[in-house]
């Protein structure tokens, strides 16, 4: 194996980690894949003989690039038409069940939305420390700050996220029960089997990006959400093809009309295992890559 082939092999072994890190920082599959591909080119062009720890070098370069991308993305998200949601991903895993469960909740749409409260450096520092188990010294070196500053970044991030940083993920059987009840409500217009699975303060929001019809404002409360499901979604989706799939680490569904992917559905959960957030993605630009699996760590 020549030098270039060896470098590529090293990078490919690290790619799932880098994709997982970039996606969590950016909230966009497209941006994460672009960032990792740019990093691959940078890696091939680097003086690798002077790099003693490739994994640390790649993590640092990826993190700093993503921080820069996130800063640039802020304006476009502020000017976004309607509700902005992270780009959904169909997650695939090649890891142990324990590892999958440990990381799944940090990929959820609900958690990624919470991270939007943070500055780019707070977000990166929090993820590296809390999700990827790096110590303060490692995180500080990775993002290019003093350790004391790093500790402040993580502390501010925790304060900004509050109780939202507690991530809940019910057992797969419970998720399947929810998905079946949701599908039944859309198909029949009856929400009887769904009501008990929703929290009283459940919220529903949709992202159309100005490119597909979707509600602009978030719906709050179980009555408003059930009315929307039994009336609007039943009217529009009852004949659509419903395909259960894993989205952002939990059970969700993709919706097709005449073979075309038109929506995705995913959920957030409270500590009792009830649904407290419902996310509908309608923006076609964010649905493009959803059917292709993405192996992230």
Give the pLDDT confidence score for residue 201 in this predicted structure: 97
**Higher pLDDT among residues 164 and 191, named by residue:** 191
pLDDT of res. 1: 52
CATH number for the domain that contains residue 22: 1.20.140.160
42 and 65 share a domain? yes
Domain boundary pick from 95, 130, 165: 165
What are the helix and strand counts (H, E) for the chain? 12, 8
| 38 CB burial (10 A radius; 0-12, 13-18, 19+) | middle
Is the per-residue pLDDT at 3 higher than 90? no
Let me know if 2 is exposed, middle or buried by CB neighbors in 10 A (0-12, 13-18, 19+). Answer: exposed
For residues 266, 272, 276, 280, the Cα torsion angle rounded to the nearest 10 degrees is: 10
End of a domain among 165, 182, 216? 165
* Rounded (5°) CA angle 244-110-25: 105
Q: Are residues 140 and 41 in the same domain?
A: yes
For residue 165, the model assigns a pLDDT of 74
Which CATH number goes with the domain that contains 251? 3.10.450.50
All residues at 6 or more sequence positions from 105 whose CB lies less than 8 Å from its CB, including other chains: 111, 167, 168, 169, 249
Alpha carbon of 57 to those of 69, 150, 182, 260, 293: distances in Å? Answer: 18, 18, 45, 41, 27
Q: Please check the confidence at residue 263 and state whether its pLDDT lies above 60.
A: yes
Q: Once rounded to an integer, what is the mean pLDDT over residues 104-116?
A: 89
pLDDT at 96: 47
- Are residues 211 and 117 part of one domain? no
| Average pLDDT, integer, range 60-77 | 88
Backbone angles phi, psi at 146, to 5 degrees: -70, 155
The answer on 197 and 54 residing in a single domain is: no
pTM of the model: 0.91
Q: pLDDT for 172-206, tens place per residue?
A: 899 999 999 999 999 999 999 999 999 999 999 99
Same domain, 124 and 193: no
The residue among 165, 186, 211 that closes a domain is 165
Same domain, 27 and 136: yes
The 10s digit of each residue's pLDDT in 44-67 is 999 988 999 999 999 999 999 999
- Same domain? 13 vs 136: yes
Q: Is the pLDDT of residue 77 over 50?
A: yes
List the domain range (segments joined by +) for residue 224. Answer: 172-295
Domain co-membership, 43 together with 145: yes
Claim to verify: residue 253 and residue 282 sit in the same structural domain: yes
Average pLDDT over the chain, rounded to whole? 91
- The pLDDT of 111-133, averaged and rounded, is 95
Q: Name residue 206's beta-bridge partners.
A: 280
The Cα-based distances of 225 to 181, 232, 281 in angstroms read 14, 10, 16
Is the domain of 200 the same as that of 151? Answer: no
Q: Which residues of 276-289 are buried (b: 16+ CB within 10 A; e: fewer)?
A: bbbbbbbbeebbeb
Which of 104 and 117 is assigned the larger pLDDT? 117
- Total structural domains within the chain: 2
Q: Are residues 178 and 151 in the same domain?
A: no
> Which of these ranges, 119-128, 163-172, 183-192, has the smallest mean pLDDT?
163-172
75 pLDDT tier (thresholds 50, 70, 90): low
Collect all residues with Cβ–Cβ distance below 8 Å to 10 and sequence separation of at least 6.
Answer: 54
Q: Cα separation of 163 and 155, whole Å?
A: 13
In this structure, the answer to whether residues 37 and 152 fall within a common structural domain is yes
């Amino acid at each position: 194996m020549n030098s270039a082939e060896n470098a590529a092999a090293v990078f490919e072994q690290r790619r799932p980690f880098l994709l997982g890190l970039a996606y969590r920082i950016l909230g966009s599959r497209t941006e994460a894949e672009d960032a990792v591909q740019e990093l691959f080119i940078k890696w091939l062009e680097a003086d690798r003989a002077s790099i003693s720890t490739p994994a640390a070098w790649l993590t640092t370069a990826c993190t700093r690039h993503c921080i820069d991308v996130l800063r640039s993305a802020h304006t476009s998200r502020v000017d976004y038409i309607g509700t902005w949601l992270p780009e959904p991903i169909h997650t695939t895993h090649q890891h142990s069940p324990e590892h999958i469960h440990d990381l799944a909740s940090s990929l959820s749409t609900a958690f990624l939305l919470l991270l939007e409260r943070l500055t780019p450096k707070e977000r990166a520092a929090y993820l590296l420390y809390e999700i990827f188990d790096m110590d303060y010294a490692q995180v500080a070196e990775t993002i290019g700050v003093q350790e004391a500053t790093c500790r402040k970044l993580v502390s501010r991030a925790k304060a900004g996220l509050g109780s939202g940083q507690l991530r809940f993920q019910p057992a797969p059987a419970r998720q399947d029960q929810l998905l079946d009840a949701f599908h039944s409500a859309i198909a029949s217009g009856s929400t009887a089997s769904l009501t008990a699975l929703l929290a009283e303060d459940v919220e529903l929001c949709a992202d159309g990006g100005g490119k597909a019809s979707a509600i602009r404002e978030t719906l709050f409360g179980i009555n408003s959400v059930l009315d929307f499901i039994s009336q609007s979604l039943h009217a529009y989706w009852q004949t659509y093809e419903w395909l259960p799939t894993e989205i952002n680490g939990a059970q969700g569904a993709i919706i097709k009309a005449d073979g075309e992917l038109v929506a995705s559905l995913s959920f957030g959960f409270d500590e009792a295992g009830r649904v407290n957030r419902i996310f509908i993605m309608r923006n076609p630009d964010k649905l493009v890559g959803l059917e292709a699996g993405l192996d992230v760590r």
